[in-house]
Each structure stands twice: as C-alpha cells, then as structure tokens.
Amino acid sequence: MRDLFAIRKELPPAWNRILGVAAFALPLLAWCVVSYVPAVWHPLVKIDKPGGVSWFSPGLLVDKPVFREESARAVAAGRARPTGEPANPIFLPAPDKVARALYTAFTTPPRLQGEQWLYQSLWESIKTIIYGFAISSAIGVPLGVLCGSYAFWSRLTEPFVDFVRYMPAPAFGALSVAVLGIYDAPKVAIIVIGTLFQQILVVSNTVRKVDPALLEAAQTLGASRRSLLLHVIVPWSLPDLYNDMRILLGWAWTYLIVAEVIGVSSGITFFINQQAKYRMFENVYAAILIIGFIGLGTDQVLGFLGRRIFPWKNPRPSRFRRFMLELFTTARTIDASPSEPSERSAA
C-alpha cells in the first residue's frame, strides 16, 4: 500500500486502470447518492396530490418548510393533507434522466420550426472549432517556430503578442461582428484571436527548449542554418508541439462557448441556452457531457496517434522486441571483443 504513494514512481498497471475507472466512477457515484438517497440533500418536495392547499398543483416543487407549513395549516383547517415526495431542484436532474436525455436529444426533433437538431448544432460547433484552430495554427505554428529559433523574429513579434495576449478574446466580439458580419466568420475570428497569441508564445517556448548540444552536433556534421531549422529544431520539437496543440485545442473549446453567442447565436451553445430556457436541464447536462466526451475522445485519439507517430519519444517495446534487444545487447559484448575489428580489417 505504501508503494502507491511513492513520490514520482509509476504505479502498477492494474492500479492505473483501477484509478482511471475510479476517476469517473467516484463523481458518478456522488451524483447517484445525491440524486437517489433522499436523506442526503433533497431540499424540495414534489407535490403529488395538492390536497387542501389551493396553490399546490401536481408536479410543483416547493421548499420543504413551506410544504410542512402548508400541510399543517391545511390539516388545522380541516382540509385534506397534501402529499409529495422529497425532490432535488430542477437544475440537478438524476443520472438516469440525463442518460435518457443523452439518447433522446438525438431522437427528438427540434421544438420550433427552423431550430436545429442536436447533431446539427454539434456539427456546426465542431466546424467553427476546426476552422478557427486551423487558421490559428497556420499562422501561429510557423511564427512560433521562427520566434523560437531566431532572436530577430522573437524580438520583433513577441512584445506585441504578449500585449495582445492579455486582451480577452470576447472583448473583440462586437468588433468582429462589425467587420465580419453576424454569421460564422466572427465566431471563427474569436477562436483565432483567443488561440493564436497564446499559440505563438507556447510554440516558441517549446522550440526554444531544443537541446543546444544537438544543434552543435549538427553543426559539426556540416548542417547549414536552414538545415538546423528543418532537420534539427523542427523534428526535435514536433512531439512537444503536438502535445501543445492538444492543450491549445482544449482552450479553443472554451472560446467556442463565448464565440457562439456573438452575432446570431448558434451551435451547441444555442442548443444549451434554448434547453435551459425550456427548463429541460437534463438536456443541458446531456449537451455539456457530449462536449466533454468529444473533448476527451479527441484527446485520447490524438494521444494514441501521438505515440504511433513519435515512436522515439516513448518507445514502449513489446515484450518480443525487448527480448530481442536483450539478446543483441549480450551479443554486443562479444561484438566488442578486441580481436574483432582487426579481423574485419584483415578480411
């Protein structure tokens, strides 16, 4: 048990799996307890039969003390006692409700004519993210690499970038609507503004971490400046840049929610706001969860791909490969025996 809390030590794989499941199971369990065990919270009463209280109606939620007071008053007045069950506020739907909503959100047609299906809203949001992130990366990554590699570009751009970085992207909302219209363009612009300036700095910092010894080694091998950039700096930083991109993509999602209320509200944010207006909070949760699933899913897929794309970064040799490696490592000692090279030269 002590080993589980050793500082900076890997856990046994079984524990990794257990904790990974627990990371999701524990919050879910807490949610279930709060939702299904009335004694835990349930501050309200959901009216079943109004009894003798005139303003009660079936399905109405009232505070517990109010319910107690009213029922006492009804009984005292000789009227029928109202009945009801303990309930949670409407903004905390039970897991089963949300689970059902996760399904029905995709099968229920929109309430109003012209409103979008959930999947259409989602797709619209994803498109906004993709456009925004692609435009930002197309500018930010090359510029960041230049800044990280050449003091000239760094001194020329970074002070200004640092300055703009502190301006909150939503502050540009009105401006971008004025310039770009009310539809998708200003939303993409907000994501670009929110991501780009951070991206330039993050990328240049990553690139700056390239091991100077490798640059020197490359120089002694005859590499030109261009070659240092293309064949040392870029390949060295790619895995870290890839991870930076994963993190920045997460930021882009946070800007999405702001971006989508600019101009004509659209996408998943519009869906969420609309459902909240209808007081369908299970749908709100469902939509938020879907965003979470999409985020986590993309990140996991990107992480998985990253390990394939950059095998040198995390070479987890299969058991077979490790066995072969050990086999050859012992062979190396024989290989390195003094007589060998001279034999080779004689041959």
Partner 1 sequence: MDTTFFMPPSYLDQSEAVAERFRRLRARPVVMDVRSLGKVFPTTGGQTVALHDVSFQVHRREFMCVIGASGCGKSTLVRILAGLEVPTSGSVLVDGAEVRGPGADRGMVFQGYTLFPWLTVKKNVMFGPMQRGLSESAADVEARQWLALVGLEAFADHFPVQLSGGMKQRVAIARALANNPRILLMDEPFGALDAQTRAQMQHYLLQIWKNVDVTIVFITHDLDEAIYLADRILVLKAHPGEVREMIEVPVPRPRLPSQFGGTEFGAVRSRLEELIHPKSEAMLDELPMIRLAQAGDDVE
Which of 187, 205, 200, 189 is CA-nearest to residue 139?
200
For partner 1, the closer of residues 116 and 219 by Cβ is 219
Structure tokens at 58: 């079936």
- Residues within window 150-189 making contact with partner 1, judged by CB under 8 A: none
Segment interacting with partner 1 (CB under 8 A) among 22-30, 126-134, 168-176, 333-341? 333-341
Q: In what order do the strands lie in the sheet with 83-87?
A: 61-63, 44-49, 83-87
Among 191, 232, 286, 287, binds partner 1 (CB under 8 A): 232
Structure tokens at 267: 């996408």
Count of residues in contact with partner 1, rule CB under 8 A: 37
47 binds partner 1, rule: CB under 8 A: no
Q: Which of 213, 277, 318, 330 binds partner 1 (CB under 8 A)?
A: 213
Site for partner 1 in 237-296 (CB under 8 A): 238
Per CB under 8 A, the list member of 78, 109, 114, 338 interacting with partner 1 is 338
By beta-carbon proximity to partner 1, the closer residue of 108 and 224 is: 224
Indicate the residue among 233 and 248 with the shorter CB distance to partner 1: 233
Q: Does 340 bind partner 1 (CB under 8 A)?
A: yes
Residue 336, classified by CB atoms within 10 Å of its CB into exposed (0-12), middle (13-18) or buried (19+), is exposed
The residue behind tokens 């029922």 is 71
Q: Does 310 engage in binding with partner 1 (CB under 8 A)?
A: yes
| Identified binder of partner 1 from the candidate list 224, 292, 305, 307, rule CB under 8 A | 224
Rg of the chain over Cα atoms, rounded to whole angstroms, equals 30
Alpha-carbon distance of 52 to 66, in angstroms, equals 14
Residue placing its CB nearer to partner 1 in the complex, 104 or 224: 224
**From the list 139, 185, 223, 291, which residue makes contact with partner 1 (rule: CB under 8 A)?**
223
- Contacting partner 1 (CB under 8 A), which of 1, 3, 345, 347? 345
Least Å distance between CB 315 and partner 1? Answer: 6
DSSP string, 26-68: HHHHHHHHHHH-TTTS--EEEEEE-TT-TT--TT-EEEHHHHH
> Is residue 344 at the binding interface for partner 1, with CB under 8 A as the rule?
yes
* Residue 49: strand pairing partners: 83
Alpha-helix residue ranges (DSSP H) falling in the chain: 13-36, 64-76, 95-107, 118-149, 151-165, 173-180, 184-208, 212-220, 225-228, 234-259, 267-277, 281-309, 319-335, 339-346
Report the interface residues with partner 1, using CB under 8 A. Answer: 211, 213-214, 216-224, 227, 231-232, 235-236, 238, 310-313, 315, 317, 325, 328-329, 331-332, 335-336, 338, 340-342, 344-345
